[in-house]
């Protein structure tokens, strides 16, 4: 199935995005091994996390409205945020993925979700930290942490993203804050 997904991606995302996706797939597999999660499931979720990344806003909205009863006002104003949820729909409808944990990991990769599984945490972290995202000292330190402390890494990843959104005057989805607070609480309990 991997080659089928890659062939589909080659037709539906840019070469730059494909390199990011392959980086996420590889990092998901590495993190899964490190955190004793099924590496095949992690790699599959990583490979499929951005299937809808280049879908136009009207298509994202139409697919999300068909699937979900309500779409919150932040996503209505910023339909690109729906690409994670729509990617899970594409994984299910186009590639026959039925494993709900994989579908949830795909759906949660952008905003996270309080109480998300360890697999979802891995995809969330890998999306932000895979090597194609840069090689700053800060990112390298975050990558090292991701190998040792999953929840602290989710917290740091959230904070890193929130700082970017604030700096660039972007809308912040409430779920991103809820995810950060949940991860902070989980990290403190470890």
CB atoms within 10 A of CB 62: 14
Residue of 108, 130, 3, 94 whose CA lies nearest to 45: 108
Question: DSSP class of residue 52?
Answer: T
**What pLDDT is attached to residue 59?**
97
**What pLDDT is attached to residue 107?**
97
Q: Which residue has the tokens 């597999």?
A: 29
Prediction pTM value: 0.95
**What pLDDT is attached to residue 69?**
84
Q: What is the CA radius of gyration of the chain?
A: 16
Question: For residue 126, what are the contacts with CB-CB under 8 A and spacing of at least 6?
Answer: 23, 24, 27, 28, 31, 46
**What pLDDT is attached to residue 160?**
95
- CA-angle at 38, arms to 10 and 47, nearest 5°: 10
163: its two tokens? 């700082």
Region 2-189: CATH code? 1.10.3210.10
Residue of 105, 133, 126, 120 whose CA lies nearest to 31: 126
Average pLDDT, consecutive stretches of 10 residues, N- to C-terminus, the chain (190 residues): 96 96 98 97 98 97 93 94 97 98 98 96 97 91 94 96 96 96 92
The domain locations on the chain are 2-189
């Amino acid at each position: 199935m991997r080659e089928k997904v890659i062939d589909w991606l080659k037709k539906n995302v840019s070469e730059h995005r494909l390199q990011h996706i392959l980086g996420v797939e590889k990092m998901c597999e590495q993190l899964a091994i490190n955190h004793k999660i099924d590496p095949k499931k992690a790699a599959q979720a990583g490979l499929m996390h951005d299937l809808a990344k280049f879908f136009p806003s009207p298509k994202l909205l139409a697919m999300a409205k068909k699937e979900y009863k309500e779409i919150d006002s932040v996503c209505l104003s910023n339909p690109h945020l729906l690409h994670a949820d729509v990617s899970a729909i594409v994984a299910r409808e186009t590639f026959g993925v039925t494993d709900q944990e994989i579908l949830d990991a795909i759906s949660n990769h952008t905003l996270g979700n309080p109480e998300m599984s360890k697999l979802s945490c891995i995809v969330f972290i890998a999306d932000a930290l895979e090597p194609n995202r840069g090689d700053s000292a800060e990112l390298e330190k975050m990558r090292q942490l991701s190998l040792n402390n999953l929840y602290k890494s989710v917290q740091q990843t959230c904070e890193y993203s929130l700082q970017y959104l604030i700096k660039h005057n972007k809308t912040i989805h409430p779920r991103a804050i809820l995810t950060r607070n949940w991860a902070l609480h989980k990290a403190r309990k470890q």
